[in-house]
Amino acid sequence: MDILDCLQTDHDALRSLMVDLDLCEMGFDEKRSIFRALSSLAESTLKAQEGVVLSWARTEENCRPAALELLNKIELADYSLRSVRMTANQEAWEAGSRVYRELLFLYFAEMEKEIFAGLHEFMTDSERREMGARYLSYRKHSQDKHALNFGSLSRNTKSTRQERLGGRMKIASRIVSGATLAVMTLALGTGCSTFGGDRDDSPASPVAADAAKANNASQVAEISFDKGSAALTDSARESLVNMINATRTSGREIDDVRVAAWADAEYPSDRQAKLSKDEQELADKRATAIRDFLKSNLNVDDIDTYNMATQPGTFARAFNTEDVRVKEAFKNAGMPNSESGTTLSAKASRAVVMVITE
């Protein structure tokens, strides 16, 4: 198996499972147990990538700077995970686990952006397949060494809820052992009530997932735009189609679709209040492009758009309008702003689309 396929499969599976975990209603103890499973799986994956992929990248002059930066991020993730595991307080644990998941999202994105191109450019097809075989072997050895222990999880799972995560678990089955997969399916199925059906959309970040949960959304997709462009990419179109189809397949009626679109900068800080006129227009064009696609191609009628290049005005705040509530949901979920100086949870050049069902 080509190393690029191995890496992409692992990244997508882990990102999707982390988002599904964010959108599940379950007790604190259950959530900790599932997080232990996911974090152990992530540890094995990162160790394999460090031992096989990044060790190669460090020897390539064009890839070496990115490889060193990614190794630093692995160290940060390890440190963050150790801190979470030593935390007993629920509030502190929730905050720490969020930081860990955001670090993973950032690491995966940078790996795909910086290293994938080098693997494609500097290695032959046969070399990538050979590296893929070594990577899978290394990861399996790391999983066996960890002897993943997932705790005692509830198995009073309704079959319909197990089916809701069927699609995700089929993807995850490529990287999780059979016994582990069964435990995770049962545990997640017990508490999940948000997503209704298999999803194959672009995995949303924890910030987007939390904001969607606050909006009582049953589906959420996060899509990206090319800088300066409001045109939907093929990947974005596919994500929107999959999201709407998944909702309809579940038998639920779509009540409302909410589209939050960013410009090429983060949400304005309280001091700034709004971005430049050009940025506001870009965010508005992106929201409009999504709305038009949903209406014309997917027959979705009730769509509300939210321009994330401007904060709600005084009138909107006074009457606590929907614009205020949607944007507050993202702020409460940890969305960065134009002055926060962090790349974690970055939303610039993105849009989050949420489906609310009846």
Please tell me the pTM assigned to this model: 0.54
Question: Which of the residue ranges 117-126, 187-196, 230-239 would you say has the lowest mean pLDDT?
Answer: 187-196
In-domain check, residue 114: yes
* pLDDT tens-digit readout, 117-130: 999 999 999 999 99
Of 317 and 123, the structure prediction assigns the larger pLDDT to: 123
* Res 84: pLDDT: 87
User: Tokens 């232990």 appear where?
Assistant: 36
Residue 306 covered by a domain: yes
pLDDT band at 23 (very low <50, low <70, confident <90, very high): low
The predicted structure's pLDDT at residue 227: 92
Residue 174 lies in a domain: no
Task: Looking at the structure, tell me whether residues 223 and 140 fall in a common domain.
Answer: no
**Is the residue at 298 inside a domain?**
yes
The verdict on residue 248 lying in a domain is yes
Minimum mean pLDDT among 205-209, 298-302, 321-325, 344-348: which range?
Answer: 344-348
Highest mean pLDDT: which range of 35-39, 58-62, 313-317? 58-62
Mean pLDDT over 79-89 rounds to: 85
Regarding whether 119 and 227 lie in a shared domain, the answer is: no
140 with 213, same domain?
no
Of the listed ranges 93-102, 186-195, 206-215, 323-332, the least confidently predicted one is 186-195
Residues 115 and 243 in one domain: no
**What φ, ψ does residue 259 adopt, rounded to 5°?**
-115, 115
Q: Is residue 166 scored above 50 in pLDDT?
A: no
Residue 354's DSSP bridge partners are: 220, 258
Q: Which amino acid is at 233?
A: T
3-state helix, strand, coil in the chain (%, to 5): 60, 10, 30
Q: What is the 3-state secondary structure (H, E, C) of 106-151?
A: HHHHHHHHHCHHHHHHHCCHHHHHHHHHHHHHHHHHHHHHHCCCCC
**Rounded Cα distance, 277 and 21, in Å:** 38
Looking at the fold, whether 264 and 345 belong to one and the same domain comes out as yes
Boundary of a domain, candidates 150, 176, 193 = 150
Mean pLDDT, the chain, as a whole number?
81
Query: Contact, 299 vs 254, CB < 8 A?
Result: no
Q: Do 114 and 49 lie in a common domain?
A: yes
141 shares its domain with 25: yes
Minimum mean pLDDT range among 53-57, 291-295, 344-348, 349-353: 344-348
How much is the pLDDT for 29? 80
Last residue of a domain, one of 150, 178, 193: 150
The angle at the Cα of 79, spanning 77 to 80, to the nearest 5 degrees, equals 60
Residue 176 has pLDDT above 50, yes or no: no
User: SS3 of 236, please?
Assistant: helix
CATH of residue 341: 3.30.1330.60
Q: Is residue 183 part of a domain?
A: no
pLDDT at 187: 42
Give the span between the Cα atoms of 173 and 196, in whole angstroms: 20
- Whether 167 is in a domain gets the answer no
Q: H/E element holding 164? A: helix 159-164
181 within domain boundaries: no
Q: Is residue 102 domain-shared with residue 240, that is, in the same domain?
A: no
pLDDT of 164: 40
Domain of residue 351, residue span: 206-357
More confident residue, 196 or 243: 243
Q: Write down the pLDDT at residue 304.
A: 95
- Confidence tier at 90 by pLDDT (50, 70, 90): confident
Q: Are residues 322 and 213 in the same domain?
A: yes
Which residue has tokens 């049962």?
Answer: 186
Co-location of 228 and 329 in the same domain? yes
My answer on whether 243 and 309 are in the same domain is yes
Q: What is the DSSP string of 223-286?
A: EE--TT--PPPHHHHHHHHHHHHHHHHTTPPEEEEEEEE--SSPBPPTTT-B--HHHHHHHHHH
Last residue of a domain, one of 150, 171, 191: 150
Could you give the CA distance from residue 93 to residue 87 in angstroms, rounded to a whole number?
A: 6
pLDDT exceeds cutoff 70 at 41: yes
Strand 350-357 vs strand 219-224: parallel, antiparallel, or unpaired? antiparallel
Question: Number of folded domains in the chain?
Answer: 2
Name the pLDDT band for 151 (thresholds 50, 70, 90).
very low
38 and 118 both lie in a single domain:
yes
Residue 274 is given by DSSP the state B
What's the whole-number mean pLDDT along residues 204-224? Answer: 88
